[in-house]
């Protein structure tokens, strides 16, 4: 169902506009329930609260829990999105919001390290697209030949690479920690957070009248479901053919002590070679050298998936490590985190109204790149509920995908 692994790095702008839809705007003070305290739901709850709504946020397992997609230690924040200017501009807006969140919470959440992009000759097209967009926007970058990069980053074997770019205004976010910081700020500013599993309730006269929280009935004026990979299970009639939830592995390798300083100083990197992506975040809280092979794994159930590492995936990553970072050949695997992407077919997010319930907004489809955009998704969601922004067809559930059960 996922057309290309490029959907994480350069989602397609959808062709024609879909059928325009409207959300029944709600007056300030209305009671809103937000379900899901990940990057999308947490930010949405906070921004709805700041827009004068009475907000209760629910999560089954807690913000940034280990089953959720936002539950990793770190997530990249980069604006380079091929020729997709929409996500480029969204990242710049998100960047400012993350910085403000750091100030508001007094917590270090964003590491401004830059990101090193590494491409072979086949990556020229996507790299050229990125350079064009960065030049248009005065987004600072540095181009390196493989020879120059070798001098700057002696720990990396540049063999087979032709084009390297440092995206300077980029880095990584502390994901789990950020989800908790958002929840804490939300409560401090007057929001209500509750642990609980939510089930959608009755649909009547074009609205949802209630929900069930741990089987207890509760009603509100509006509902936002930001349930990441669980959206598909909560609304199978809409998403069973539109969202695919795939297993994704991230591994941490022990760095030999004499190389720790050298590796911890490397910026996060993204390597595209022979059409495949690997990426890593070398220095994060001494957990080891983080690396992932960004290929969609098999479809899974996020509640019951066995989260032990797959030895084939580990071997693939080890082969890549030995080639690209030779000093880490044979390095021990110290930890693995098994997570999941909630993919839409083209990598665009979902920000759409439920077709049979005008007071239900659905947020999701992070497709492996959603974390950084949490603040912007939240801002758009809050505007939609206030009635100050129409729903954007790019984030719509196309009608030919819904009701496909
Ligand atoms: C390995 C990996 C690497 C990634 N790398 C990056 C990256 O570098 N940069 C980036 O920007 N993005 C990245 N992403 C994608 C990003 O993490 C996700 O797009 C984002 O976290 C999705 O957030 P979400 O809020 O939609 O979903 P989630 O974080 O999954 O949140 C959904 C929440 O809903 C709760 N929930 C579900 N059902 C219910 C229910 N019935 N009742 C109550 N609560 C419920 C869950 O407990 C969960 O907390 C990566 C993802 C993975 C897996």
What pLDDT score was predicted for residue 126? 86
Q: Which residue has the tokens 């924040």?
A: 77
Calculate helix-pair angle for 85-105, 175-188, nearest 10 degrees. 60
Burial of 14 (0-12, 13-18, 19+ CB in 10 A): middle
Atom of ligand 1 nearest to the CA of 342: 19
Nearest CA to ligand 1 atom 20: 371
**Which amino acids bring their CB within 6 angstroms of ligand 1?**
35-41, 58-61, 65, 68-70, 72, 75-76, 197-198, 226-230, 234, 248, 250, 292, 339-341, 364, 366, 368-372
What pLDDT score was predicted for residue 3? 44
- Give 39 Cα–ligand 1 centroid separation in angstroms: 6
Tokens at residue 348, please?
């665009």
Among 36, 178, 252, 380, which is best to mutate for testing ligand 1, by the most ligand atoms less than 8 A from CB? 36
- Give 274 Cα–ligand 1 centroid separation in angstroms: 28
Please, which contacts does 25-30 make with residues 24 or more away whose CB atoms are closer than 8 Å? Answer: 25/385, 25/386, 25/387, 25/388, 26/53, 26/221, 26/222, 26/359, 26/385, 26/386, 26/387, 28/52, 28/53, 28/386, 29/53, 29/54, 30/54, 30/220, 30/221, 30/222
Q: Domains of the chain (ranges plus CATH)?
A: 6-71+176-243+346-395 (3.50.50.60), 113-170+255-339 (3.30.9.10)
- Give 132 Cα–ligand 1 centroid separation in angstroms: 31
Atom of ligand 1 nearest to the CA of 74: 8
From first to last of the 405 residues of the chain, give the pLDDT tens digit: 444 467 888 888 876 555 567 788 899 999 999 999 999 999 999 999 999 999 999 999 999 999 999 999 999 999 999 999 999 999 999 999 999 999 999 999 999 999 999 999 887 888 899 999 999 999 999 999 999 999 999 999 999 998 899 999 999 999 999 999 999 999 999 999 999 999 999 999 999 999 999 989 999 999 999 999 999 999 999 999 999 999 999 999 999 999 999 998 899 999 998 889 999 999 777 889 999 999 999 999 999 999 999 999 999 999 999 999 999 999 999 999 999 999 999 999 999 999 999 999 999 999 999 999 999 999 999 999 999 999 999 999 987 765 544
What pLDDT score was predicted for residue 401? 65
Q: Which residue has the tokens 């994704």?
A: 248
């Amino acid at each position: 169902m996922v057309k290309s692994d490029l959907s994480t790095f350069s989602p397609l702008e959808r062709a024609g506009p879909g059928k325009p839809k409207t959300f029944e705007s709600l007056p300030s003070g209305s009671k809103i329930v937000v379900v899901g305290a990940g990057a999308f739901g947490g930010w949405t709850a906070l921004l709805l609260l700041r827009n004068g709504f009475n907000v209760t946020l629910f999560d089954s397992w807690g913000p940034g829990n280990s089953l959720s997609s936002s539950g990793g230690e770190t997530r990249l924040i980069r604006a380079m999105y091929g020729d997709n200017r929409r996500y480029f501009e969204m990242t710049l807006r998100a960047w400012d919001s993350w910085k403000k969140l750091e100030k508001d919470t007094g917590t270090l959440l964003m590491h401004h390290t830059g990101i090193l992009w590494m491409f072979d000759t086949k990556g020229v097209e996507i790299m050229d697209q990125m350079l064009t967009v960065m030049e248009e926007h005065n987004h600072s970058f540095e181009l390196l030949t493989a020879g120059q990069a070798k001098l700057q980053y002696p720990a990396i074997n540049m063999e087979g690479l032709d084009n390297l770019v440092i995206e300077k205004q980029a880095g990584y976010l502390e994901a789990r920690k950020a989800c908790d910081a958002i929840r804490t700020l939300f409560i401090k500013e007057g929001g209500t957070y509750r642990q609980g599993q939510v089930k959608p309730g009755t649909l009547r006269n074009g609205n949802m009248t209630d929900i069930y929280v741990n089987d207890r009935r509760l009603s509100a004026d509006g509902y936002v479901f930001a349930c990441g990979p669980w959206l598909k299970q909560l609304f199978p009639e809409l998403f069973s053919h539109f969202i695919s939830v795939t297993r994704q592995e991230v591994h941490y390798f022990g760095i030999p002590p004499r190389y720790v300083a050298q590796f911890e100083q490397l910026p996060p990197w993204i390597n595209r070679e022979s059409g495949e992506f690997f990426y890593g975040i070398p220095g994060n809280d001494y957990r080891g050298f983080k690396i992932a092979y960004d290929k969609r794994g098999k479809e899974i159930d996020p509640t019951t998936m066995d989260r032990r590492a797959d030895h084939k995936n580990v071997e693939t990553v080890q082969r890549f490590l030995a080639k690209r970072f030779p000093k880490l050949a044979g390095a021990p695997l110290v930890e693995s985190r098994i997570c999941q992407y909630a993919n839409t077919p083209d990598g665009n997010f979902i920000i759409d109204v439920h077709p049979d319930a005008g007071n239900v907004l659905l947020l999701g489809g992070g497709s492996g790149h959603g974390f950084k955009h949490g603040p912007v998704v939240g801002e758009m969601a809050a505007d939609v509920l206030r009635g100050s922004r129409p729903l954007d067809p790019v984030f719509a559930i196309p009608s030919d995908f819904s009701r496909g059960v």
